[in-house]
Structure 1
Amino acid sequence: MTMRTVYVNGDYLPENEAKISIFDRAFLMGDGVYEVTSVLGGKLIDFEGHNRRLKRSLDELDMPHPAVLDDLLDIHRELVRVNEIEDGLVYLQITRGAPGDRDFAYPDPDTPPTVVLFTQSKPGLADNPVAKKGIKIITVEDLRWGRRDIKTTQLLYPSMGKMMAKKAGCDDAWMVQDGFVTEGTSNNAYIVKDGKIITRALSNDILHGITRAAVLRFAEEAQMQVEERNFSVEEAKDADEAFVTSASAFVMPVVEIDGVALGDGTPGAVATRLREIYIEESRKVAV
């Protein structure tokens, strides 16, 4: 494996030399936020959207904005360049820092944050063969905390959901609260019925997906009908098709829910077309 260059608190380092304190609050408390920005053709997709959401996450947690926020585009581009990323991802994490010892109380606001970025190479990201066959999902109870709109590093239960799906021979899981689907373990969830795209409205219950916003905008520009409302598991199983969206999967068709095939069990026309539109339009404005 090629040794990557990563970014840690102002320094570009070989990944095997990168270190943070054992007292870092993300390590001890999950007290950190993150973003993942896709790279296609060596350019960043939806960077400004991710940057805005990052700042919102910091604000919602009363976490000071580090000065490095002004330089994030340059840092992303430098990591893409030095690691020769054609298609892939840039992961960014900001934590409340390492005040020197473990304490539930927030440290002094002047405590330096921890800022980490690294890349992941994903050749052929836009041509993922999984999108041509679709994914199978299970549904699981949503046991996460109530502020899912903040993109925190608290990812234990989503990881458990993915492992539940894997154990069931499926690809992913949709979280369910009071009988209604909230979202996927790492993506926003949608169904399609009679040509209408249905997805849960924005609230504290789901992540305000950057890819979600772009896909819904493209759908409306293509004169597709969109309805933002709760939908039940039973309604999902009766849908004509379904899909998820995320920065790393773009638009990914869902072909089975809890063992029930949707439509003819292959990716639907709406999801397939939206994936094509999203990738095409995102490439045009990538930075």
Structure 2
Amino acid sequence: MNSAAERRASARTDLPYRLFGRARGVAPGAHRALGAGQNGAFLRHSSILETPDARRIDMRASLLDPFGGLKVRRFENRARIDVQIVLDLSGSMAFARGDRDDDPVAELCAAIAHAAIRGQDRFGMVAAGPSPRADLAIRATRRRGVPDEVWRRLTDAPGEGQGIASLLAAVEELPQRRSLVFVVSDFLMPEATVEALLERLWRHDVAPIVVRSSAFETRLPRFGLIETRDLETGRRRLVVMRRSLRERWIAQARARRTALDAVFRRHGRAAFDLVDSYDPDAFADHLLTGGS
């Protein structure tokens, strides 16, 4: 196994993701769900008349009952959920991803797929930009080979074109029941478009992931002539970088990120920043704190 493959394998670990609120479903899983079941933490005692299950009789609680009734243990329900990725494949998402064996977007998506299937959940993905990408869609599944399949597909599809019109349509293909949806994008689009995308996901628990590059935001030269290219339109421009322009550039990038965070919090939770490379420990810490 080469070093790149070893790194990808080590990055695929169990992730502490969870659905905000309780899941709905009857298929056994690891997530707290509505109702009572037999595979979760202790919930409460109830009368055997309410829960006629002699296997769950608690003799100590029954003896302590002043009315002499038989008490039965009840446990919280645990169910599986659907974990989905909504991936932006517009042209700007190709920045710094081509010709790399450590594509951060492919590695993150493969890691999510691995964690979902390891956690007994179902994994699915929709991806598009201005044009549909049905070849990248994965319907909810628990197949073990999906993480490698996700990685292979995405390393060959860095993104192209302008806008996310087809992605807005593709999210309608997600399951109707409430799912945990990771939205992976650089979100370099009008705020109204971000709002439109998140509003279409209103029934789901949305976890945004902002793909960023330090070369574009902070690792700018203090002085010199640089060429910029819009990956969505192909337009090129020469810019004379100087200290005042660099400071303004960085300030605008920070202001945009702050504005995005306000939008994300209105729709559920703060975003995770995927900067330059995928860091599984940082992502796990983010999930553990709920994005707070």
TM-score, length-scaled by structure 2:
0.25
Which of the two has higher C-alpha Rg?
Answer: 2
- Give the helix-richer structure, 1 or 2: 2
TM-score, length-scaled by structure 1:
0.26
